Structure 1
């Protein structure tokens, strides 16, 4: 069985974390250290945008124009930080052979977070959100190509983070005034933009919600879905079962991001029990990737986050043994 983290980690020492992820998990990943200026998931993704300019306002990132617009100082700083992190990746992963994951905020979560030049979220404008998604998809293609060039032995896996998509689909994203909500997006529309991202590399879509839109993810071409198993309701588990039987890789978030650290058995049991209740093939359970419940940026310390990542392999062993019973 395979283990990995979901990107975000506490602290500000990217070199220490790069060493750690290469050691502690089977699928290493480019660390996201949100404690640093421009290190959060939205800033990291704005850095990947190569055709749109943006600047950082008190309320968050805002687009400032099209292809001819000049990147702001904030956007240039975000890009510089990403390049520094990629330099560290290239140094520490020298000679590495195997899968390597990079993370990016998905088009719907980004559209619900970033503002248009004249105000309100990009989500409010059908054309603007398509332009943003296309610019991001182009930037992601270049980003993945850069990682492959820096680490020639890497089999790059792309993680698309979509924590905001359930609210987008439900029409629950507030407008700038706060008095109303943005119009909901239907499933086919969500699939259309997400599918722009599933050709760059094998893609896992990550969403920590009680009912993540699994069907949207799989129809977009994602080869994997990452979920917080403790949050999933019955309907979501039914969708997980359908996806697993269709060959989608399930990234099961079983280690809480804060609080007391469970034993490997305690963390594994709910997953194994639910798998059996659904009547799923035990062989499919062996293909599940074991992860924390979500990103670990909120962990109280780097040492605590390391302990949670270290626990993943013990959990994988317990789940593997259970699948043989």
Structure 2
């Protein structure tokens, strides 16, 4: 940990009610240290490396994950991130920003004298990364099988190093959140070609599964547990579950909650039945018009458990409460409030108030 906390040598924190809550990564503003202090204070059970995309190129999801790549470099073009022959200003900036974010979490834990049960980091999954970076030809990395394999191997190697560093610095187990918001478009073949007139061919499910499994395997090789996050309204839940992550994170509202289509409910039920955790995004990730009541926020999760035929107590031991997505679009005040509300909901699922029907 940081020098300020090395002499304190805090003991591992005992589990507490409310620990089964966290955020999904992004945070408003540009001050990583302030973000990390808030995160450590509000979600002491599972704090995470903050992401601050308002800082610009290199702080975005694709750029910060590209900073983990080994022996591959990227640069910024008008169309976005592109493969480069050697690391330039933008690539080095992405590396520096990510290093600062890890420092910020480490320092915040040191200031708090805390060793949490686990800490979390977030990375773009291999398909979102390969869709978000162009080859020098202008085509997406995912259109070239050789380049795709090279990127996946490089990401895996970088991820192992990243996890090991976070574990060494924080002295806590690490959870790796693999973000795949672009995976549905990859599978549907709806991503645009450079001309804008055509679309990239759909990737077969078996191929998509194998590459996602490779990222999960890399995280596990480093001793981490994994959660695959896709807040798309139609995430490929069956495919994600087939990769055997430890948890699956969704935006419950975007799915339709208990009124989701039957195939979505069936997939959620199979995930839970298999013992995989569900991370349920139920707290608004942007400022709501009016402060939501706790029971109203809890209702979709309670109704989901009912529809799937599970005891509501399962929400206390096989679910994690989160905002619906990252908090970069929220005001600083709501980011803090959404985070503390997620913890309140996790406590309420463990010790439900009267009237919740447990």
* TM-score interval (norm. to shorter): over 0.9
| 1:320 counterpart = 2:350 | yes
Could you tell me how far apart the structure 1 residues matched to 2:28 and 2:47 are? 16
TM-score with structure 1 setting the length: 0.94
- Compared CA separation, residues 317 and 97, structure 1 to 2 (3 A): closer
Q: CA RMSD in A?
A: 1.5
Q: Which residue of 1 aligns with 2:71?
A: 51
Matched, 1:194 2:212: yes
CA–CA distance in structure 2, aligned partners of residues 218 and 191 of structure 1:
9
Question: Runs of 5+ in structure 1 lacking a partner?
Answer: none
User: 1:127, CA displacement in angstroms?
Assistant: 1.7
SS at match of 1:291: strand
Report the 3-state secondary structure (helix = DSSP H, G, I; strand = E; otherwise coil) of the residue aligned with 1:157.
strand
CA pair 45-294 structure 1, distance change in 2 beyond 3 A: same
1:33·1:40 contact (CA, 8 Å) conserved in 2?
yes
Once the two structures are superposed, the pairs formed by residues 20-39 of structure 1 within 5 Å of their partners are: 20-25=38-43, 26-37=45-56, 38-39=58-59
Q: For 2:106 and 2:327, locate their aligned partners in 1 and report how far apart those are by CA, in whole Å.
A: 23
The question of whether the paired residues in 1 share the 8 Å contact of 2:48 and 2:105 is answered with: no
Alignment of 1:122-141 (within 5 A): 122-141=141-160
What residue is the counterpart of 2:326 in the other structure? 295
Deviation by residue 1:260-309 (Cα, 9 ceiling, x = unmatched): 3311111001110121022123342222100000001111x211111111
Aligned to 1:113: 132
- Segments of structure 2 that go 5 or more residues without pairing to the other structure are 1-17
- 8 Å CA contact 1:210–1:236 kept in 2: the answer is no
Q: 1:12 maps to which residue? A: 30
- Asked if 1 retains the 8 angstrom alpha-carbon contact of 2:313 and 2:349, the reply is no
Q: Tell me the alpha carbon deviations over residues 107-145 of structure 1, each in whole angstroms, 9 at most, x when there is no partner.
A: 101111110012111121122112111111111111001
Aligned counterpart, 1:284: 314
Answering whether residue 106 of structure 2 is matched by residue 75 of structure 1, we say no
What is the CA–CA distance in structure 1 between the aligned matches of 2:329 and 2:265, rounded to whole Å?
A: 26
Q: Specify which of 148, 151, 164 is matched with residue 182 of structure 2.
A: 164
3-state SS in 1 of match to 2:93? helix
Equivalents in 2 of 1:285, 1:61: separation in Å?
Answer: 40
TM-score by length of 2: 0.86
Report deviation, 1:203. 0.6
Following superposition, the deviation at residue 159 of structure 1 comes to: 0.2
Aligned to 1:236: 264
- Correspondences of 1:189-228 after superposition (within 5 Å): 189-199=207-217, 200=219, 201-228=224-251
Count of aligned positions: 319
Choose 35-44 or 6-15, whichever is displaced more: 35-44
